[in-house]
Structure 1
C-alpha cells in the first residue's frame, strides 16, 4: 500500500507482512505495539502501514470522543439481546454496528462483552449477554459475524473473569480449571469456533487470573488461545490494562492501549537489548498488528476519517424491533395485557418520563435520539389526551442532567463551556482558550484536547440560564473528578472543592454527587455557573482504579419531590377507576446505578420505588408494572402483581419498544437470560463476591446461575429462560439421534413439532438442555443449555416441524477433565429436554454415548489434539 492511499481514501492493497517486517527498524517495531492516543494505532507511512482506529462498543459506536462526542445509534444492552434468544436479530444488529463503525471511521469495534453474570451486582452486568456460556458464546458468534460482514473487526472482551468492578485492576480471580473452561472461557471458545470467520481481535481483562494478570498470562494467551485454540488474530489490552514490559510481550499481548505507551517505548527496547525479550518475539507481536491492519482493508475506511451520523429510518426500525423483541413478559394473570389503546391510561413512576436507554461507563454514548415509556404509550393511544402522567417518586442516584434545561445567552438549548489554563485564584482576569456550546452537562474529559492546553491541569466553567416551570425548592448537584463550585445567581450552592469525599464517579476516580438546594420562582431566569478544576487539583487519593485522564464533571438538578406526597398523589389517581381504565407503573434502574467502575451495593430498586409499587398495587391490583434494569432487582411485591414486564436498557427506541409490547403490536417471546433471585442472599455468588484481601474466590464453581438453583432445588423469583406470550404453544414429536464419527465432528440430530395453540400470531423460543448420565464420574449440573432456536411468526393453529440440528456432540456432552487437562465426552445415557413457553411445555428423550473420548481445541473444528487423546475411558 502506498503511504498516500490511506490519506486519499483510495483502495489499499494488503501489506506484504514479511517484507514490511524486514524493513522495520527496532524503534518502529516497538512503536507499532502501542497506541498513539486513546483510539489509534501507530502508522509507518514510509512502508504504507496506516493508523487503525478503534471504538467502543458494545451497544453502540461512540467514535473517538467521550467528551462531546458525535451522536450514534444505541441498540439495546447485551442483556436485552440475550433475552431475545434470537441469533438472526443479533447478527442484523452486529451488521448495523459495522455500518455505524464506518460512519465513525472506526476499523475495530471493542465488543461484544461476553463475561459471565455470575451474580446480580456486577456494575457492567448489563453489558454481557447472560449467566449461561452457551447463550453468551452463540450470540457473540452471530454478533461478530454481523460486525465483520461490513469489513470491521469485532473484539470479544474481557478475557477472562472480569465479572466484577470492585478492585478490578488488582483483584485475583481464583477459579478452578473446570469452572474456567466450562463457564468463563467457553463463551470465547464458542465465539471463535462458531463464527463464520474468527473475530479479528480479543481484549484481555484488567484482573488477575489465579495469581497472574490476564494481559501477561502465558498459559491463557499462549497455551490456550494461541496453541490450543489456534487463534491468529490480535490480542489487545483493555485500556490501561497493561502492567509490565517483558512479561506482557512474552506472554502474547500484541497491542497495548491506549497511547502514549507506559511500557512499550524505551523500556521495551531496553528489555530487548538486555535479552529479557527476544526480537523474534517482538516480530510475532508485530505480525499480529500487521495482520490486523490487512484485515481492516475490507472496510474501505481511510486513516483518521471524519466522524458522521447515519440516523436512517431503517436504523430506527431495526432498533425498535430489537427493543420490543427483548421485553420479557414475566406475569400476565387474567390477560390484563395487552392494553387497549382506546382506554384512559395513567402512567406513573420514576422511569416513566425518562429515557433509560443505556447503562453507564464505556458502553454509554450520546444517542441520535431517545424515547421514554410515556412517549411510547402516548403514541400508541388513540389520543394523547387519553394518557395522564404523575411522577410518584424519583429513581435517580444522581440528579437528572441539567444541560438540556438550560439556555445560552443567545437562546440556544444548552450552556457555554469555556476552558482556561489558569485558575480564577491565579488570575482573576484570565482569558479562556476554548469555548464550546454543549447540551449534555456530563463532561468526561478523557479525550478533550486543545493546542493551548498542556498536560492534565486546566480549568473549566459552565454557564447557562435556568427558567423553572414551577415555583418550588430545587436541588442542584455537582459531581467531579477534580474540584468544583456551583453557583445560582452568584450564590454558592454546592462546594465540591474545599472538602471532598471519595466516590465511584468517572470510573472510580471522582466524588459522589454533592447537593445543595434553593427555592426558585416559576418563570424567573437564574444564572447557573460552575467553576471547575481538573483531576490534579483534587486531594483525593484513590486505589485499585484506572485513571482515565484529567477527570470530568457532571451537573444535575430537579424540583424536589417529597416521596410520601408523591406516592400519595399517585395512589389517589391510580385508585380512581372512574378516571383511569388502565394503570402502568414504570420503575427500575439507570446508568447512575449500573455502570463501569463500581458494583451495585445491593439488588434493591432506588429508595421510594418499592413503596410506590406496593401502595399502587394495593389500590389498583390490575396495575401493570414495568421494570427497566440491566441485571436483576429485588421484587418483594412480585407475588402481588398480576401483570409484570421486564424491560432493559433498550437503546434509542426503548420507550417505543416497551409500548409495542404493552399494546400487543408485538407479541412478546423473550426469555430471561439470567436468573432473578428472590433476595440477594439467594444467589450462588453471595458469599464470594467483591475483592477481599486482594482476591475473589469463585466458590460456586460451575454452579453459576440456574445450574445452582437446579442443583439445590431452590426456587428463585423468576427462573432463567422464563418468559410468557400472549398466545400459547405446545411441543411434541421430539426426535433425537446421534451421528457417528470423531467426537468433535459428531452431532446430535434433534427435531420437534411446535404448534401455536392460542389465538394470536406469536414466536416461540425453544431451549435445548442436556442432562448428564447418572453414571457420571463427577458431579455435574442437573441440566445445561446446549442450544436454542427461535421459531418466528407461528399463526394460530399452525404446526411447524423444527430442526434443532446440528447440535455438537462435543458441546452437548462434555465436561473439563482436570486429570487429563482435556474435555471428556463420557459414555452413558443423556437426556435432551426441549423447553418451550408454558409451565408444562417440555418434551424429553434420551440418547447414548457408547464410549468415552477426550478432546481439545475449538468446538466444531477438529485438530490433531483430538486424535491424540481420543480413547475409551
Structure 2
C-alpha cells in the first residue's frame, strides 16, 4: 500500500503567506512550472503540451514522445471507451515526463476548414466535441494527472488571434461554442482550464468576469484552476478581478510585484482577490501532488509495445472510408494467379504526416510512413505483389527536412551539431556543446547549456552531414532562419541567408526569414559534405528576434517541374494494376499561428490525381489532413480514404485498412463541403479590422447544410465499411427526466466490423428558428458476421430538447412533440419515433 500523499493545508497557508509570496504564485516560474515557496514547503508543479502527445519540457532536442492521431481523427472513432484509454496513456506518459498537468484536450469548434488549429480540436458538433474531450479527460484524471481543457472560448481561428473581437449572439455562444466545455465539465470535471487569446463581444476572455466568474464559477459551479494561454494576459487588475488565477508562462509580464503591490496598497486591487486567486494555485498544486511524481524526474520516452498497440488501434478506428466503388477495397496481399503490381504515388507516400503544426507538434518517438506501412504489410505471408513508387508532386511549403537523408560523422542517419561562442571566422573558436540531431528543422527557442550564462543568447553552431543523391541532376538547396545562416557544399557557399535577409514566414508565428535558395549540380551516388553555419537570434538583421536562441531550417531536393514529376508518376501508374495515391496537406499548411488561405491542396496535387486517374482506372486516394480539403476529382476515382494526421502509427493504420486487416469504421467528425464557398462561415471567417462576426449563428456544420438544403460532398457522421449493418427494432421510452432509445444492430455482411448508432432530436413545431436536427448521443458496437447486439442510448429531457432563450437568458425546454431520429450518419436516418413533453421550463447550470 503506497503511503498517503501529503496535501497542502490551503487555508493555513493563505494565513502564513506574505502578500509578495501570494503574488509570486499567480504567474509561472518559467515556461512549464509554477513558482515554489520553499519557506512553506510549497512545491513547483510542471505542465506540458498537450493534445497530440506529451512533449515534456523541451522544444529543441526533446525526449521523444508518442504522437496520437490528431483531435479530429480521434473524434472520428466515435468510441468513448477508446478515448478514455487514450487519455490514460497520455497520463502515463505525462508522468514519465514529470508533468502533473496536461495542457489539453482542445475542444474548440471546427467552425471552418481553414482554421489553423482545426485538426487539434474534435468536431463541428458541440456534443461530439464535448464527449470526446470529456472521455479523454476521464482517462487522464483516472491516473491522477490533471487535465487542462482549452481554449475557453471561441479560439476558432488563428488570424489576429490575440486581438480579434469575436462578435457572437448569446444563443450561438451557449448552444455551439460553450457547449463542449459545458458537457466536458459536467461529465468529467477537468481540474484546470485555459483561456483563449481572443475577445468575445469586446472583452478578452482572460479578463472577462462574465465568462470566468458568472458562467464558470457561479452558474456551472466549477471550482478548478484557470490559467492563461501562453502570453495570453493583457492586464493585471482586470485579469485578477476576473479570476484568471495563473499567468503563463513565467516570469510574469503583468503581475510584477512593485506595480501590483502598489495597486493593492491603493485599494485598486482588493486583498481578497489576491487570496482567492492564490487559493486556486494551491488547489492546483494539491491536485498535481496526487500523482506522486518524484521531485527530480529524468524525462523518459515510452517505447512499449502496449503504447504502440493503442496508438495503432486509435489510428485504425479513426480512418474513414468515404468511397469504395465496385468494392475495389480491401486490396489483396496475395495476387492469385501470378504477380500483381501496386504503385504507390504521391507527396505524402514517403512522408510521415503525424500531426499538424504548432504547439501540438512534437518529437515523435518514431513515424511509419504510408509506404513503409504498405511495404511491411506486403512482406507478410510471402506475398506475390510487387511495389513501385513515384513522388508525383511536391507538397512542401519549403524544401523538405533532410535529417533522414543525411549521414553524420558517426555513420548514423542524421546530422551533427557543434556549438561555439565565437563566429566561424574566428580560427581559435572552441566547441562548448556537441551532439547528433535527427532533423534539419532546428528550433533553438529553449536551447540551454551549462556553458552559457543565464540570458546569454549569442552563440554560433555548425550543422554538418553527408548527402548522397539518388540521381544525377541539379538540386535546390534552401535555408530559412531566425538568426543568420549560410549553407556550404564541399566548402562552396550555395545559400546565403546572412548578408542579405528578407522577411518571411519561417518558424512559429512566422517571425523568421523567407527561404533563400541556391542550385548545384550533383552526381548520383557521390558523397557531398553539407555544412550550415548558423548565428543565433541576436545576429538576426531584420528586427529583434523574439524566440530567444532562434533557429534554422534547411533542405535539399532535386530540381524539377511539376509537369516532369507528373509525367514520371503517370508512367509508373500505367504499368501498375492498382495505384495507391497518398495526398493531402501537412503541418506546414495546417498549423497554429496561421489559417489556411483556402481549402485547396497546394501545388500540383490535383493535376496529379487527374492524370493518374486517366492513366489507370484502379486508383485509391488516401488523404491526410486534419480538416476538409477540396476534392475536385472525387468523381474520377473509385475509392477515397480519409486518414487524418495519424500519429506514430499512421503508415501501419493506413495499410491495415487498405488491405482489410482492419475493417474501417470511422465516421466523419465534420462535414466535407464541395467547395469553401459552401461553408457557413465563408463570408465571416478571419479578422476584418480586428473583428470577426459569427454570422452563421447556431447553424454550424451539418446544421447549416440541412437548413438550406445544400448537399455536401460527404455529410457529418458518414463512413463506409467492408461489411453491411442493419439498425432495427427501435424502442423509445420517456419520462419527465429522460428519453431512452434502444435498438438492435446486426452485421449483415461477411466481415467483422463496427457500426456507430447516432441519435438526433428534432423539435416538431419549434417556437424559434432551430436546426432541423441535432446530435444528442451516439454509441458504437462491434459485431461478428451475422451477430446482433442491442445498444441503449439515454439522454436527459433538458439536454434533448433545450435551446438558449436570449430574452430570459436561460435554457428553455418547450412542451410539445419531438422526434428521435436514429441512423448511421447525419443524412441516413433509418428509424424514428416521437416523444412528448407536457411542460415548458427554464434552467441554468450543468
Partner residue of 1:311? 303
- Cα distance between partner residues in 2 of 1:222 and 1:817: 21
Partner residue of 2:558? 559
- Cα distance between partner residues in 1 of 2:749 and 2:412: 54
Contact 1:352 1:587 in 2 (8 A): yes
Deviation at 1:707, TM superposition (A): 0.8
Question: CA-to-partner distance for each residue in 1:189-224, whole Å, 9 max, x for gaps?
Answer: 1110011xx111100111111111111111111111
Contact 1:504 1:597 in 2 (8 A): no
1:602 equivalenced with 2:619 (yes/no): no
Partner residue of 2:272? 280
TM alignment of 1:801-820, pairs within 5 A:
801-805=790-794, 807-820=795-808
- Cα distance between partner residues in 2 of 1:383 and 1:24: 71
1:132 equivalenced with 2:125 (yes/no): yes
Which residue, out of 758, 763, 768, partners 2:754?
Answer: 763
- Cα distance between partner residues in 2 of 1:602 and 1:102: 40
- Cα distance between partner residues in 1 of 2:255 and 2:5: 28
Partner residue of 2:697? 701
What secondary structure does 1:120 align onto?
A: coil
What secondary structure does 2:73 align onto?
A: helix
Partner residue of 2:509? 507
TM alignment of 1:316-465, pairs within 5 A:
316-343=308-335, 344=340, 345-381=342-378, 382-383=382-383, 386-424=386-424, 429-451=428-450, 452-453=452-453, 454-465=455-466
- Cα distance between partner residues in 1 of 2:353 and 2:423: 36
Which residue, out of 188, 192, 203, partners 2:194?
Answer: 203
Contact 2:504 2:515 in 1 (8 A): no
TM alignment of 1:443-842, pairs within 5 A:
443-451=442-450, 452-453=452-453, 454-497=455-498, 498-503=500-505, 505-540=507-542, 547-576=546-575, 580-740=576-736, 746-774=737-765, 776-792=766-782, 794-805=783-794, 807-836=795-824, 842=830
Which residue, out of 94, 118, 126, partners 2:87?
Answer: 94
Structure 1 runs, 4 residues or longer, greater than 6 Å off: none
Deviation at 1:673, TM superposition (A): 0.5
- Report which stretch shifted further, 549-558 or 697-706: 549-558
Deviation at 1:526, TM superposition (A): 2.1
Contact 1:506 1:552 in 2 (8 A): no
Give the structure-1-normalised TM-score.
0.93
- Cα distance between partner residues in 2 of 1:355 and 1:629: 12
Deviation at 1:590, TM superposition (A): 1.1
1:28 equivalenced with 2:21 (yes/no): yes
Deviation at 1:168, TM superposition (A): 0.9
> How many corresponding residue pairs?
833
Deviation at 1:400, TM superposition (A): 1.7
Contact 1:357 1:651 in 2 (8 A): yes
Question: CA-to-partner distance for each residue in 1:549-575, whole Å, 9 max, x for gaps?
Answer: 443221222223432222122222222
- Taking a change above 3 Å as real, the CA distance of residues 422 and 247 of structure 1, as seen in their structure-2 partners, is farther
Contact 2:715 2:825 in 1 (8 A): no
- Taking a change above 3 Å as real, the CA distance of residues 60 and 771 of structure 1, as seen in their structure-2 partners, is same
Contact 2:389 2:572 in 1 (8 A): no
Deviation at 1:527, TM superposition (A): 2.3
- Taking a change above 3 Å as real, the CA distance of residues 469 and 736 of structure 1, as seen in their structure-2 partners, is same
Contact 1:815 1:823 in 2 (8 A): yes
- Taking a change above 3 Å as real, the CA distance of residues 712 and 504 of structure 1, as seen in their structure-2 partners, is farther
- Cα distance between partner residues in 1 of 2:565 and 2:550: 36
Partner residue of 1:863? none
Give the structure-2-normalised TM-score.
0.96
- Cα distance between partner residues in 2 of 1:637 and 1:147: 41
Deviation at 1:592, TM superposition (A): 1.1
- Taking a change above 3 Å as real, the CA distance of residues 231 and 592 of structure 1, as seen in their structure-2 partners, is same
- Report which stretch shifted further, 611-620 or 267-276: 267-276
- Cα distance between partner residues in 2 of 1:69 and 1:810: 47
Deviation at 1:145, TM superposition (A): 0.4
